[in-house]
Amino acid sequence: MALVNDNFLKLPGNYLFSDIAKKVNAFKVVHPEANLIRLGIGDVTRPLAPAVINALHSAVDEMGAEETFRGYGPEQGYRFLIDTIIKNDFEPRGVKLDPDEVFISDGAKSDTGNIGDILRHDNRVAVTDPVYPVYVDSNVMGVRAGDLQIDGRWSNIVYIPCTAENNFTPELPEKRVDMIYLCYPNNPTGTVLNKKQLKKWVDYALENEVLILFDAAYEAFIREEDVPHSIYEIKGAKQCAIEFRSFSKTAGFTGLRCGYTVVPKELMGRTPDGQKVSLNGLWNRRQCTKFNGTAYIIQKAAEAVYSPEGKAQVRATIDYYMENAKMIREGLEATGLQIFGGTNAPYIWLKTPQDVTSWKFFDRLLYECHVVGTPGVGFGPSGEGYFRLTAFGSRENTQEAIERIKNWKI
């Protein structure tokens, strides 16, 4: 009989959003008439940009003609998309990349989970806390996390609290670590690091040979000037950081699946005996073995995001969501709740009132306001006592949800 990877058995029974779905479904059985508004899971609601739709139709037509049909594509992605990404996302910010440093994928979630394939099991991992659950769970699967403790922490993971008390700014770890996950603009708190703050992390990583895994999935929502869109805007970052990007929230590709990861060629890891090894080469080998490439029609759709029409249309959608974020932030502040985020990210992070636990606040909001959010503790121990709302709903639903909460006896 085949033996299983028993690290999977260490994981809690369900992914956070599966637990939420179960609670919501139970509510709907008891209250089928309720007008439920979902501001929980970070899925988009606006339709794809017309430029993207046109590109999809055109690519489908190509696949239906013998002379333009395509079979297997390059595992790393088509050059037409890679070159477009470099030209639009990095060159305007003074960042130079070679085409073989950009890898197209089916999304940042896959890549942030899969990156552990090229890293040893005994690396010590650090995460900011609260944090996107995939970072921790994938390291549990990858034998790096140790055992789950009573306080909700994993024994071999270094947690760096980010709370109102430290203005959600992570401190450099006191213990020696080998890998650190940074997500900015942050999911779930909606907060950011400015260039000076991010430079501190790059300098630390260079000095201590630490690998930064930088998730920039929400960079398109940044509004303030001093907030970097890419870690490579910081000098030296190409020697210490891998960056993950996504079209999911930027261009509404949650149903299409496309993202990309940047692994600079000057970024090195080490073997146990101290030899330097190119992480770019290892990631390329991993992708060629385990990944068959993102579909041609999806990559053509992603390319259209960068057309003049696509840029304008995508920007309009982002502005729509950020107007929702402003509405949520200002509406909740008027109730006296303590609010964070929502300025450079589509997430609003609130402190639950009267020391109510995150899940208790979830239940009350669901049953008394018929609004779904996400309990902060689901993102890590330091998320207890906080709650996340997203700006990805419709304008009408967002307005209605805020009115319900404003009229709610919290």
Q: What is the DSSP letter of 15?
A: -
- Residue type, position 322, single letter: M
H helices of 88-180, where? 108-114, 133-141
**What is the Cα–Cα distance from 53 to 65, expressed in whole angstroms?**
19
**What is the Cα–Cα distance from 342 to 354, expressed in whole angstroms?**
22
The total of other beta-carbon atoms located within 10 Å of residue 229's CB is: 20
**What is the Cα–Cα distance from 322 to 209, expressed in whole angstroms?**
37
274 φψ region: left (φ > 0), alpha (ψ -120 to 50), beta (else)? left
Residue ranges of the chain with per-residue pLDDT less than 70: 13-15
Domains of the chain (ranges, CATH numbers): 14-46+309-406 (3.90.1150.10), 54-308 (3.40.640.10)
CA neighbor of 222 nearest in space, from 372, 399, 89: 89
**What is the Cα–Cα distance from 182 to 109, expressed in whole angstroms?**
14
pLDDT computed for residue 244 by the predictor: 98
CA neighbor of 217 nearest in space, from 345, 387, 310: 345
- Residue type, position 305, single letter: V
Name residue 257's beta-bridge partners. none
The total of other beta-carbon atoms located within 10 Å of residue 282's CB is: 16
The total of other beta-carbon atoms located within 10 Å of residue 375's CB is: 26
Q: Which helix (H) or strand (E) holds 215?
A: strand 211-215
pLDDT computed for residue 14 by the predictor: 67
Give the start-end residues of each E strand in 25-141. Answer: 37-38, 102-105, 125-129
Name residue 292's beta-bridge partners. none
Long-range contacts, stretch 353-358, CB < 8 angstroms, 24+ apart? 353/410, 354/410, 355/385, 356/385, 357/384, 357/385, 358/383, 358/384, 358/385, 358/386, 358/387
Contact assessment for residue 104 and residue 80, using Cβ atoms and an 8 Å cutoff: no
Look at the pTM and tell me if it is higher than 0.85. yes
CA neighbor of 410 nearest in space, from 361, 338, 350, 374: 361
* Structure-token pair, residue 151: 């306080």
Q: What is the DSSP letter of 87?
A: I
Spell out the residues 6+ positions from residue 13 whose beta carbon is closer than 8 angstroms to its own: none
**What is the Cα–Cα distance from 9 to 251, expressed in whole angstroms?**
36
